């Protein structure tokens, strides 16, 4: 194991978003990590921008991760959460496949 350099690829306003993105990258075989997700003041207000939750990936994955993020953003604009046709789990719109069983998202009615 080498302790490779980590690249920051996304800074989020909220920890949940950072974890969603990291989980998405992870599902594509990219070992993403979230740092700074504890950085919230007790009263719930935002910490300074440079302390907000950040998603990082090893340098060698940075390019791939950036491409996936663009895809994720496009998907996010598309949508609504969907229900997995196989395991009936509730899946966030950013996912193109079920994070539980791996089934692909069915075509949307609006795609027709």
Shortest distance, position 104 Cβ to Zn ion, whole Å: 10
DSSP state of 83: E
Determine the Cα–Cα distance for residues 96 and 13; give it in Å rounded to an integer: 23
* Binders of Zn ion in range 89-108 (CB under 5 A): 89, 98, 100-101, 103
Report yes or no: 33 and 6 within 8 Å, Cβ to Cβ: yes
- Which of these ranges, 16-24, 42-50, 74-82, 84-92, lies near Zn ion under the rule CB under 5 A? 84-92
* Binders of Zn ion in range 25-64 (CB under 5 A): none
Q: Would you tell me the crossing angle of helices 62-78 and 15-27 to the nearest 10 degrees? A: 110
| Interacting residues with Zn ion (CB under 5 A) | 84, 86-87, 89, 98, 100-101, 103
């Amino acid at each position: 194991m080498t302790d490779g350099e980590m690249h920051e690829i996304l800074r989020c306003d909220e920890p949940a978003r950072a974890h969603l993105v990291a989980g998405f990258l992870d599902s594509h075989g990219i070992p993403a990590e979230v740092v700074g997700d504890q950085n919230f003041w007790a009263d719930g207000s935002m910490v300074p921008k440079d302390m907000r939750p950040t998603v990082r990936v090893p340098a060698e994955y940075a390019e791939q991760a950036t491409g996936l993020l663009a895809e994720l953003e496009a998907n996010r604009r598309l949508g609504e959460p969907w229900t997995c046709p196989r395991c009936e789990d509730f899946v966030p719109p950013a996912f193109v496949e079920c994070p539980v069983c791996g089934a692909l998202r069915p075509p949307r009615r609006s795609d027709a």
